[in-house]
Amino acid sequence: MYEHYWQQVGEKTTVVIRGWQHMSYFSDVSNICWFLEPELAKEIVRVHRVVGNAVTEGRHIIVGTGSSQLFLAALFALSPRDGPEPVSVVSQAPFYSSYPSMTDCLKSGLYKWAGDAQSYSKEGPYIELVTSPNNPDGNVRRSVVNRSEGTLVHDLAYYWPQYTPISSPADHELMLFTVSKSTGHAGMRIGWALVKDLEVAKRMIKFIELNTIGVSKDSQVRATKVLKAVSDSSEHAGSWEGVESFFKFSYRVMAERWKLLREAVNSSRIFSVPEYPPAHCNFLNRVFEPQPAFAWLKCERDIDDCESFLRGHKILARGGKHFGVSPKYVRVSMLDRDNNFNLFVKRLSTILL
């Protein structure tokens, strides 16, 4: 979806890396995150200040190979070292479909997936994953277990103004962000964590050191350029030669796509999508309903397997069972290229029973 915008921006985000540049493992040995490029750290702080979606003061910034690596680093850092058994990892259903497989893929002795946070009742330490806005259903989330022995990881990949109103800066112990959802550059594989506790930050950094000996400098340099352009487009919009601010463009496209999707859903009378309460966005200075990156589509009537039903109508979606809920639900991306999204809406609106 974001390709068109970055084509308009043109050379402002072009990066030239010469063969002799960025050859060392090290970026800044004075920083505890010694592989974090200093200019990237500056642009991360700046974009959060511009948007107002996260507190960066008093936080350690850790760069990762996407937020996926940072998620695993957080589990490693937060797991008790002397526990009699792996610590339980939970998240409220519907949860991000990769959480269970990522948690259990190495069969770690430190942590294990324990399912839906709402039904979790085991005594002892636990780690709760709070994704807000939530993937897949787009709802604002808070922790649900709320016991003293728990620790929280806040996955805020979608807390940006094209997806949801920014009501206040997020202020949590450990927060994850990624360029893939904020700017569309999934192929960069760059994410970052804002971590309050120094010892947790050190353990996360140690995990990344053992896992990949740092993070690609080439990707960090490119991410720096892109984040700078995002902030510049908001702070200096008047000097951008007809290119609107990144977040205004993104908001406008998402609003139009959700309008088209709701029209298609209403015309079919077979499906439903959630209704979201409107809220005021401090960044855009307007009231609007959340317009998530994914549509959480439900098949009504007697359709029990929505994923298979849609596949029969040449629409690919991910079924609810992957997210810990009924197969009557599916997740559909709202971020594809215009041609694919328009084809999806057209096919959806013509389905009849």
Q: What is the pLDDT of residue 291?
A: 98
Of the listed ranges 107-116, 229-238, 244-253, 297-306, the least confidently predicted one is 229-238
The pLDDT value given to residue 352: 82
* DSSP structural state of residue 245: P
* Pairwise CA distance, residues 149 & 212, whole Å: 31
Buried b (16+ CB within 10 A) or exposed e, 327-344: bbbbbbbbbeeeeebeeb
229-259 confidence digits (pLDDT tens): 999 999 987 667 778 999 999 999 999 999 9
Mean pLDDT value of segment 301-324: 96
Supply the mean pLDDT for the chain.
96
Give the mean model confidence (pLDDT) for residues 94-110.
97
Q: Residue 131 pairs with which residues in a beta bridge? A: 155
- 124-176 pLDDT, tens digit each: 999 999 999 999 999 999 999 999 999 999 999 999 999 999 999 999 999 99
The pLDDT of residue 301: 87
Confidence of residue 353 (pLDDT cuts 50, 70, 90): confident
Instruction: Compute φ and ψ for 171, nearest 5 degrees.
Output: -140, 80
| Right CATH for 25-235 from 3.40.228.10, 3.20.20.70, 3.40.640.10, 3.40.50.2300 | 3.40.640.10
pLDDT tens digits for range 6-47? 999 989 999 999 999 999 999 999 999 999 999 999 999 999
Domain residue extents for the chain: 25-235, 246-349
Question: What is the Cα–Cα distance from 193 to 213, expressed in whole angstroms?
Answer: 17
pTM for the model stands at 0.96
pLDDT, residue 340, reads 97
pLDDT in tens, 74-97: 999 999 988 899 999 999 999 999
Assess if CATH 3.40.228.10 describes domain 246-349.
no
